[in-house]
Chain A
Amino acid sequence: MTTCFHCALPLTRIDRYQVEIDGVWRPVCCPGCKAVAELIRDSGMTNYYAMRENPLPGVVRPADTNDDWQVYDRDDMLAAYATRVGDAAEATIYVGAMYCAACSWLIESTLTNVAGIEIVEVSPVTHQLRVRFDPDRIRLGGILSNLAHLGYKPQPLAYDNASRPELVEQRTALKRLMVASLGMMQVTMFAVALYAGEFQGIDARMQRFLRLVSFVVTTPVVLYSARPFFSAAWRGIVSRVPGMDLPVALAIGAAYVASVYAMMTNGPAVWFDSVTMFVFFLTLGRFLEMRARHRAIDRSTALTSMLPNTATRLDGDTRRIVPVSQLVAGDRLLIRPGESIPADGVLVDGETTLDEALLTGETVPRPKAPGDIVAAGSINLDGMIRIRVENTGADTVLGTISRLSERARYSRPAFVQLADRIASYIVVALLVIAAAVATYWHFNAPERAFVITLSVLVVTCPCALALATPAAFAAAGTRLADLRLLVTNGNAIEALARATCVLFDKTGTLTRGVPVIVSTQVFNQSIDAQDCLKIAAALETVSTHPIASAFVVGDDPAAPADQQLVIGRGVAGTIDGRRWKLGTHDFVVGGESRSAVDESSTTSVYLGAAGRALAVFHLADEIRPDAQNTLQRLRGLGLKNALVSGDSAAPVRRVADALSITPYHFGCSPADKLTIIRTLQDQGETVAMVGDGINDAPVLAGADVSIAPSHGALLAQTSADVIMLGDSLAPVATAVRMARKTMRVVRQNLAWAIVYNATALPLAALGHVPPWAAAIGMSASSLIVVLNALRLTRYD
């Protein structure tokens, strides 16, 4: 399918808007993308298109907001959002819709050329921009509108960049990794000398010295780099849910303490090299995992990016544009058609329909009259309204849902992984065995007791066991990212492999979430369906209603004369001297007002003239082309399917029948969906939930594993374990297959580690394994585990 050159959304027609870039005419989807692409070209930044990663469809599409950046030119805004640095001012701006390194290059290069801007620093990790500028030459509003013109969604932040949790985490992780890697290299160097000494003989003083410097280098690695493992292991013990970190911490701690003891008593061998290498590989794994997580999770956008930046406040009779952050309960706001509602409130004046898809998942807009409650984040479609603010920010419905999903995430019972359970049992067993071996040799050959006990401890060090799962998961994560799947939660792969039942949301998941015409019925012989469609398309040019997008025909239709829009009912206009009406049956034939939506599986839109209906268009949400295939592949993998939707019975039944999904549930609130999941879980099913939309976020968090399409609401992504990049359902089946393969590799790794330990243990316990051979055996067994895991990176 042809996609927009700028934002990668699928195009219905390629000749409507085009941009010439590097001598080639590129199709774009809308005037917004056209403007941005032209701006990028005219600033000599076409490299951006060559360098960027494939964008998620729609992410960089410029928003159709009427945000008025001039409000930020005021001096009180400068004081609120910028700090003075000498003569200059410094501000931190959150840049929404930025997604890769090319974006930060584009922003930096563009802003640096703007007069008055001194320093520009963009962080793709936090999506934040630190800008230092001369407030006498450029105002904050000018910087923001520059960003908005590039298609980004800027939002000035009132807090300091450096305190961002992601940034702090990344900095700490980098330091830990660097200490571990430098320490590992140094200690390995000393270890080579020590091992060589084992064979060739080494001066006793030199041996003691090398052990001492190894100790000096290893200590910060253990105390600083490995600290997260110790604290996590301790938390596991305290909460009585021993995690993966317990055996890791025990292995590191035991090997370190044993080495220190051997160093002080001039024992036969030290294992500082093994300790540092172990810490380094684990820290590296954690670091890469953290980077993937930061890329996927963008918590700060979840709430704010769905709300507009500014609102029009009515202070008596004067209209004043204020930042949304300054709204308080009791404010009266003016909302124009096409704007989104900035805060929860009550409609006091005017009539309109609101698109609440973000909150309820409903594709059908709701009519609203004075006295009705309006929720932040919904989009005002067709009427100018006034509202009284009741709740703002985190107190809004949107904020509450976001909190709810946070809570659901934390209340999820911590899943104890297979590897964890086995590894922790084995660690305990090994400690018991080592104690028994020590006791036995203490009574039979006291002079050999310590060496043999150490050999037992080292040769059976559960390194391979501890690495078996994370190495496979890291490799699988890399491969899945290649396959356009982002894993944000370590438990996801394991849960996905166990999944027995896949629950699908309807709107935006199995369907595209936009209405299309499924059938046209013409009542009168004098006109054919194609002409009806053309007339309808012309009439709909005035409408911003989602239904209007269904009426797209070959040519750009000329707008009819004398256009009229009747909220919640339809549109009218004069074409070639004839008065046409398009909308509900009653609107077209002239009767009492009735709801725009009937309860059948489709929405019917009538076209008529002079009080007579000539044709009816049946609109329905289109099922994704790859939905059928994906469901078949999932069934082939032995997974049950089910459909849960907040939509009404008829459309849900239509989709369920078309894809032969049973069972299906309709009219479900988020709480109902959660109950369905709990019931299935009580029946012993492992539930994977595929869905998007904010209202699904708590549901996604309640499932054993959750998958969200990336075009879904951002918040759903933050609580989803797996995020599908790209506009396709097929990765769901791929993810399940990959997860199962990963678990097979994990089991092979665990089996190998157990077999190795089971063979090496008796040999070492009987005193046949010298410590150096034990160390080699331990490293080799770990290496085999890692190599086996790396096979996953080539799996397809």
Chain B
Amino acid sequence: MTVLYILIPLGLLLLGGAVWAFFWAVGSGQFDDLDTPAVRVIMDDDDKPDAGKDT
């Protein structure tokens, strides 16, 4: 069980890294829009302008 004395602090270090990365992402504005990404994936961007008119 002594391995826990190393693994848990290691886990906390990773946790700290994750929190730091998240703070950076929030600060750079990546989380400013919480609504659009949820629906963006189901929006088709491949409808070409004037599709079905010129072709």
Contacts and interface: CB of A to CB of B under 8 A. Distances in A.
Interface of A: 42-47, 51, 100-102, 104-105, 108-109, 113, 121-126, 162, 167, 170-171, 174-175, 178-179, 182, 186, 190, 203, 206, 209-210, 213, 216-217, 291
B23 A47 contact: no
Contacts of A162: 29
B4 to A, nearest CB: 7
A174 B19 CA distance: 11
Contacts of B27: 171
A100 B26 CA distance: 21
A104 B36 contact: yes
A216 B50 contact: no
B15 to A, nearest CB: 6
Given A43-B49, A122-B36, A125-B32, 20 more contacts: A44-B50, A47-B44, A47-B47, A51-B42, A51-B43, A105-B36, A105-B40, A105-B43, A121-B29, A121-B33, A122-B33, A123-B32, A123-B33, A170-B31, A171-B32, A174-B31, A178-B19, A182-B18, A190-B8, A209-B4
24 contacts: A42-B50, A42-B53, A43-B49, A44-B50, A45-B47, A47-B43, A101-B39, A101-B40, A104-B36, A113-B49, A122-B33, A124-B35, A124-B36, A125-B33, A126-B32, A167-B32, A170-B32, A174-B26, A178-B19, A182-B19, A186-B15, A206-B1, A206-B4, A291-B34
A179 B19 contact: yes
A182 B15 CA distance: 8
A493 to B, nearest CB: 25
A213 B49 contact: no
Contact of A101 (B1, B8, B36): B36
Contacts of B42: 51
Interface in B1-55: 1, 4-5, 8-9, 11-12, 15, 18-19, 22-23, 26-27, 29, 31-36, 38-40, 42-45, 47-51, 53
A748 B38 CA distance: 37
Contacts of A42: 49-50, 53
Interface centre among B11, B35, B44, B51 (most CB of A within 10 A): B35
B31 A171 contact: yes
A213 B40 CA distance: 40
B12 A217 contact: yes
Contacts of A43: 49
A179 B26 CA distance: 13
A85 to B, nearest CB: 15
Given A101-B39, A109-B45, A213 B9 contact: yes
Contacts of B29: 121, 162
Nearest to B9: A213
A161 to B, nearest CB: 8
A397 B33 CA distance: 35
